Structure 1
Amino acid sequence: MMNLNQAATWQEICNNSCLHDLPFKIESNQQGQLLMTPVKVYHSLFQGKITGLLYSHIEDGEVLVECAVRTQQGTKVADVAWASSQRLELIKDEAECSVAPEICIEVMSSANTEEEMLGKRKLYCENGAEEFWICDQKGQFRFFSPDKELACSLLLPEFPATIR
């Protein structure tokens, strides 16, 4: 059993039965320490709505909810992600994605900061994400490429800027 006071790999974290039913989103930092963020009902509701909208706008690939992505600063978990069929073939059997899905989406909570979100954008994009989206607490989206903010998604230009 993993000692929760020591650094851990993502696989060890996933295998630890003490962590299976926590009502928190779990990520890790560069030292392998666990970071836990509680989520509210609206957060889960938005994840579901985003998933449905993604499936209505894509013809290829799959939507991933709570998608663990290996980064230079530990394992980060995108609230929702989209991976093409080609990318999915690379990552589908991994404990954490060695290559980020093409789109990584974060739903903001009251605990998140703009700086934290822009840091996640950098990490996901360094690992292969082509776009990073932020959904705020009112359901409004901001879309980013690796180097700038976009007026809309370039990969899914018909995706709405707001969900309710």
Structure 2
Amino acid sequence: MKWEEVCDNKQLQNLPFKIELNKWGQIVMSPVKIKHSFYQGRIQRLLESLLQTGEIMPECAINTSDGVKVADVVWCSEERFNQIEDEVSASIAPEICIEVKSMGNTLDEIEFKKQLYLEAQAVEVWLCNEQGQIQFYNEQGQLDQSLLVPDFPREIKR
């Protein structure tokens, strides 16, 4: 299956699951809980308060070497956004790709997605665990803080 077919399929719309494709075109669904949505929304609002340029988007479909993955939140520079805005799924990852770990995710899955986003030219990948703690990564490895948004907190609090 292709991403365009997933997007156009009426039966796959409005599901309470995050849908992605693996490299064989198989649909992978991940259910999310309220806390996942809370962290996703809070991260998006924090980014909006800290960044004056670029585009912040939830649920961004990104082409990777393992099929289309959907980052929970992304930040994209104006330049990169102009490149991908009319695409069905991003041919190049936004500069910041953020994943919020769900109960259904294993650490290996999250680590794999981090590598896929970096491979797809993300500059940073942020991982939020189930307690709201954020870890920041780039091609060189783990960072003490984001280099692109240095004021972003290391923990999302209620």
Quickly name the TM-score band, shorter chain normalised.
over 0.9
State the alpha-carbon separation in 2 of the partners of residues 146 and 15 from structure 1: 35
- Secondary structure class of the residue paired with 2:113: helix
State the alpha-carbon separation in 1 of the partners of residues 108 and 143 from structure 2: 18
Counterpart residue identity of residue 57, structure 1: L
Residue 157 of structure 1 is matched in structure 2 by 150
- Secondary structure class of the residue paired with 2:97: strand
Q: CA deviation at 1:147?
A: 2.9
| Aligned CA distance change for structure 1 residues 147 and 118 (closer, same or farther; 3 Å) | farther
State the alpha-carbon separation in 1 of the partners of residues 139 and 71 from structure 2: 16
Q: Please point out which of 97, 101, 108 is paired with 1:104.
A: 97
Give identity over the alignment, percent.
48
Counterpart residue identity of residue 148, structure 1: G
- Equivalences for 1:52-67 in 2 at 5 Å? 52-67=45-60
State the alpha-carbon separation in 1 of the partners of residues 64 and 37 from structure 2: 24
State the alpha-carbon separation in 1 of the partners of residues 52 and 77 from structure 2: 9
Structure 1 residue 141 and structure 2 residue 134: aligned? yes
State the alpha-carbon separation in 1 of the partners of residues 152 and 2 from structure 2: 35
Asked whether the 8 Å contact 1:121–1:146 carries over to 2, the reply is no
TM-score with structure 2 setting the length: 0.97
Asked whether the 8 Å contact 1:152–1:161 carries over to 2, the reply is yes
State the alpha-carbon separation in 1 of the partners of residues 139 and 48 from structure 2: 23
State the alpha-carbon separation in 1 of the partners of residues 127 and 106 from structure 2: 11
Residue 68 of structure 1 is matched in structure 2 by 61
Number of equivalenced pairs: 157
Runs (5+) with no aligned partner, structure 2 = none
Structure 1 residue 26 and structure 2 residue 19: aligned? yes
TM-score with structure 1 setting the length: 0.94
State the alpha-carbon separation in 2 of the partners of residues 149 and 18 from structure 1: 40
- Secondary structure class of the residue paired with 2:110: helix
Q: Please point out which of 35, 39, 43 is paired with 2:32.
A: 39
Runs of 4+ in 1 over 6 A off after TM superposition: none
- Taking only aligned residues, the RMSD between alpha carbons, in angstroms, comes to 0.7
